[in-house]
Amino acid sequence: MTLLRPPLALLAGLLMPLGFAPFSQAWAPVVGLALIFSLLAPPRVSPGRVLLLGYLFGLGFAGFGVYWIHHSIANYGGGPLAAGIAIGVLVALFALIPMLALLLGWWAGRHYRAMALLVVFPAAWVLVEWVRSWLFTGATWLSLGYTQVDTPLAAYAPVLGVYGLSAAVALLAGALAWWGRRPLSLRVLAPTGMAVVLGGGAIGLDRPWSEPTADPLTVAMIQGSIPQSRKWDPAESGAILAEYEALTRDVFGADLIVWPETAVPAVYHQARPWLEDLAADARAEGSDLVLGTPAADPVGNGLFNAVAVPGDTTQFYYKRHLVPFGEYVPFRDLAGGLLNFVGTPLGDFSAGVSAEPLNAAGHAIGVSICYEITFGRLVADSLPEATILLNVSNDAWFGDTTAPWQHLEMARMRALETARPLVRATNTGVSALIDPQGRVTLSGPLFQQVILEGEVQPHTGLTPYLRWRDWPMAGVSGLVVLGMGLFARRRYQLFREV
């Protein structure tokens, strides 16, 4: 059995990404976590074995889960060699995160096998997921709660957010691991009881958390499908704007017309007269134009990744959470030209500070740009004022990999947490309309130029998640881990004294 542990740990890690879109096998992370919890169950497991098996688990999880980063760097960054080095380093670093979660759970529950499997490992997992969401600017990809958007457990999202769903997955996994130690015993009550409790809670929470306000809006999302090779070529900018204009004029009359992230292939002020003339024509037909564009701050405070509502007084939302090495390069000055192969073609962006909704089509719209949709607390900052959420993105960087589908899955979680409809306009897909229950009501294909037209019903209300954010799950998880860890230490000292 000892020889089987390393490959089993790796297999457990490889199971985890199967829970995320586009595979959407919600059972897979439960089984994967149950397997690694069982392999590390105290007390007859050394710290060294925890580190080894936990790291192998992390390598499988990260290697399969974020392999798509290789595509973006190989095709749009430094080429295949740089991509190979970057993905190797990234996977090696990401694998440390689940390893540390497992080590923390083992340490806190090292004297209590039942408590370790049923409570402490799950609490440690959720605590580390939450910490990594903000530490070193935050890493939110592959949080386990996203795997449950299409299960009854999704009812927990408006109350406890994505980490509440992560806790549900981890608790089920712990119960399964406990039963798996002796499957023919009465321990079958643990997974059965946990499923009943969590399922009953989901049924009790399955209710509307917001209510419609005003009439539905008609929305047209322009998916330009502009290849990255054209997007920032100065010789192509006129043709790209002409394509967007033609597509936009075809849907004049829709209440809201949305262009994706950085659809304008220039800094806003360079195309301002043309854009504002187009917006004026749209308003004359009853439409408000909302577009993604780079924007220079009027007082010279930097270049921003922005969403604009052109008008007599143009409104801007400036992206607040930038992607390191994608939208800005840390330590660029120190590294000289070494890091010039990453970052944006226009230079480093600056971060915005305001979450104030934009006003368009008579409604307050909470805006997020690309990666920001993966941070529940950021999206929540524009609420409860916003009646509609809007996310614009450009996932062309990731090609036909799992990344665009995972990104859409995260957007669905934000709709669930806030009980708001969400409009998602992307350059190459997946563009979609999502209702307040996180269901996709309309979506488009990948890498096709299309116009998606549909209706969105604005909603108002304040979910428990919007009141409490992630603090309940972070607090309970931290108290469980700390309390069990201190109790185990005290117990050890008492035995020494005796």
Active site residues: 261, 319, 370
How big is the CA angle at 264 (ends 261 and 266), to the nearest 5 degrees? 120
Q: Write the CB contacts of 161 (distance below 8 Å, at least 6 apart in sequence).
A: 145, 376, 417, 465, 469, 470, 473
Distance (Å, whole) CA 479 – CA 128: 13
Report the candidate in 198, 200, 203, 160 with the shortest Cα–Cα distance to residue 30: 198
HEC-encoded secondary structure of the chain: CCCCHHHHHHHHHHHHHHHCCCCCCCHHHHHHHHHHHHHCCCCCCCHHHHHHHHHHHHHHHHHHHCCCHHHHHHHHCCCHHHHHHHHHHHHHHHCHHHHHHHHHHHHHCCCCHHHHHHHHHHHHHHHHHHHHCCHHHCCCCCCHHHHHCCCHHHHHHHHHHHHHHHHHHHHHHHHHHHHHHCCCCHHHHHHHHHHHHHHHHHHHHCCCCCEECCCCEEEEEEECCCCHHHHCCHHHHHHHHHHHHHHHHCCECECEEECCCCCCCCCHHHCHHHHHHHHHHHHHCCCEEEEEEEEECCCCCCEEEEEEECCCCCEEEECCCCCECCCECCCHHHHCCCCCCCCCCCCCCCCCCCCCCEEECCEEEEEEEHHHHHCHHHHHCCCCCCCEEEEEECHHHHCCCCHHHHHHHHHHHHHHHHCCCEEEEECCCCCEEECCCCCEEEECCCCCCEEEEEEECCEECCCHHHHHCCHHHHHHHHHHHHHHHHHHHHHHHHHHHC
Distance (Å, whole) CA 388 – CA 382: 10
Q: Which amino acid type is present at position 97?
A: I
Is 315 within 8 Å of 279 (Cβ atoms)? Answer: no
Q: Which amino acid type is present at position 498?
A: V
Distance (Å, whole) CA 290 – CA 202: 37
Distance (Å, whole) CA 116 – CA 119: 6
Is 303 within 8 Å of 295 (Cβ atoms)? Answer: yes
